[in-house]
Amino acid sequence: MKEQPNFSYINQLSGGDKAFESKLIAIVKREFPEEVKEYQQYLYEKKYEIAADSVHKIKHKISILGLELSYQLAIDYENDLRNEDLSKKNEFDEVLNAITSFIKEIN
């Protein structure tokens, strides 16, 4: 994993508004695990088109957490999934694991 999740984009968006930052972080903490679960379920069921839709949702969280390279990976993987190409799955899973670890450590 080349890059690490961070709050730089959230901080930039908020302009120092801590309440806004807290709300955005709470949304990521709540929605991200659910979206990952959905993605994994659709993948397991070989519903690649719907799995690609899940990746589409997840990529916004990737962007919010300042992961520019991973965001591009998500775009590519989303398109690949629509063609039933899973070649980027392991790399994408590494990104999901890094974000999962990161948000678990947020108080």
Tens of pLDDT along 29-88? Answer: 999 999 999 999 999 999 999 999 999 999 999 999 999 999 999 999 999 999 999 999
Distance of CA 4 to the CA centre of its chain: 12
Q: What is the pLDDT of residue 1?
A: 47
Q: Is the pTM of this model over 0.95?
A: no
Torsion of CA 35, 30, 103, 23, to 10 degrees: 130
Residue 33's pLDDT is what? 97
**Alpha carbon distance 71, 68 (integer Å):** 5
| Contact (Cβ atoms closer than 8 angstroms) between residue 105 and residue 4 | no
